[in-house]
Structure 1
Amino acid sequence: MSKILSNKDNLQVLYEDNHIIIINKRAGDIVQGDKTGDTPLSEVVKSYIKEKYNKPGNVYLGVAHRLDRPTTGVIVFSKTSKALPRLNKLFAEKDAKKTYWALVKQMPPKTEDTLVHWLKKNPKNNKSTAHTKEISDGKKAILHYKVLKTLDNYYLIEVALETGRHHQIRSQLSSIGSPIKGDLKYGFDRSNPDASISLHARTLSFVHPVSNDMIHVEAPLPKDPLWDACL
């Protein structure tokens, strides 16, 4: 299901049926509207559906989960009000399995490990700090990582989340001395030219909220020589 079905207006549709649509999000796209006033991905997808199916009036689209603006990869939207609460439940109960790929310059302490931290979000700077011991107002964060490949100057890491916290992967990898390439907020020394960070939601697997079929989608990597070297 990783074949790109549409690239109209630079929108990469990875999977679509009557109830859901799965997109390969680009760096810089915001999932929902915010104070910047920039057009969110949800509105772009609505426009795509409206034009493709010649729909009159407003198009329904539900947001089931989010990705940080500078990240790329798999994100799923609901096309029906029937599917949305079921998708929300899937993500809330961690029944949707996600893997992420990240590029880091510093080799993690171990080639494979489970990280457990308590994350505390600071709304003023929109940043989460990882603590190794339980703290007041901290949320427990668990992820599993392994080094998939050694490149010339970077390491490719695969991450599987057990919890879904604010900036979890970015904060936890930074806390072990391996900030993600381009992530100035979490300690990388320089930005990427396109203001992205090298974090990609690579795969998503879940039981379809209506048909009960198993859905597995893999998002192609961003067009970049370093990402190309990962394959």
Structure 2
Amino acid sequence: MQSTKDNLQVLFEDNHIIIVNKRAGDITQGDKTGDIPLSDVVKEYLKDKYQKKGNVFLGVVHRLDRPTSGVIIFAKTSKSLERLNKMLRDKKIQKTYWAVVKNHPEKEKDTLINFLKKNPTNNKSAVYNHEIKDSKKAVLHYQLLKKLDNYSLLEIDLETGRHHQIRSQLSAIGFPIKGDLKYGFPRSNKDASIHLHARKIEFQHPVSKELISIIAPTPNDVIWNECN
């Protein structure tokens, strides 16, 4: 089920920002598929809620892959968009992810350092242990939160934000994310989602300067429900 203005999961909203829980399958911004993006759904929601007649301003601060769920920030003013963009560049927005992966890691926590090179033809990132031409350094930290029968729940903190970083780096060490055919999981999820969820976001409000800490509930399915 994709998001509409009537079922949008709003986690926080004030005059400057709106934070929503993206459903797997939503695209953040318009793309070649022509499907309605989440940004348009949020605009429609705001237009309806505040009975605005003209265009609604909404700035996309960051994106999540289509099959991924979780917390995502939109800016309601150009001032907050500009400030949030700078905070993102300065790594002042802390994002924490949950991933359900195949197998159980030997190390309960670890740091992965690789170099990723994006292939635009197949929209995949290849993982290297050393720098090669056009590659970008990728650093993530993971911690084992829970062992399920055939899977593990990992919590991931990103130091860098590269294309398909979590998906490709975990797959490279033998822990593909459940449902992620692109990176080596043997079968897809029925709804085409993958079990990667942007669980938490923390940052200083771009205008009020108060600390904002938001946790996004996981999707309602058997495996995610076992993780909570």
Q: Same fold (TM over 0.5)?
A: yes
Q: Which residue of 2 aligns with 1:150?
A: 147
Kindly report the root-mean-square deviation, in angstroms, between the aligned alpha carbons of the 2 structures.
1.0
- List structure 1 runs of 4+ shifted beyond 6 angstroms: none
Q: Deviations over 1:130-169 (max 9, x none)?
A: 1011111100000000110011221000000000000000
Q: Which residue of 2 aligns with 1:173?
A: 170
Q: Deviations over 1:25-44 (max 9, x none)?
A: 00000000000000000000
* Paired residues, number: 225
Partner of 2:157: helix, strand, or coil?
strand
Uncovered stretches (5+) of structure 1, i.e. residues with no partner: 1-6
Provide TM-score, normalisation by structure 2.
0.97
8 Å CA contact 1:15, 1:21 repeated in 2: yes
8 Å CA contact 1:109, 1:176 repeated in 2: no
Do residues 75 (structure 1) and 72 (structure 2) align?
A: yes
Q: Which residue of 1 aligns with 2:119?
A: 122
Of 103, 107, 114, the residue aligned with 1:106 is: 103
Q: Which residue of 2 aligns with 1:4?
A: none
Provide TM-score, normalisation by structure 1.
0.96
User: For residues 81 and 151 of structure 1, do their structure 2 counterparts lie closer, same or farther at Cα, with a shift above 3 Å needed?
Assistant: same
Shift of 1:8: 5.6
Q: 2:178, 2:53 → 1: CA distance?
A: 44
8 Å CA contact 1:108, 1:176 repeated in 2: no
Uncovered stretches (5+) of structure 2, i.e. residues with no partner: none
Question: 2:107 is matched by which residue type in structure 1?
Answer: K
Shift of 1:108: 2.6
8 Å CA contact 2:95, 2:157 repeated in 1: yes
Counting aligned pairs with the same residue, the percent is 68
Q: Deviations over 1:44-95 (max 9, x none)?
A: 0000000101111100000000000000000000000110010111111111
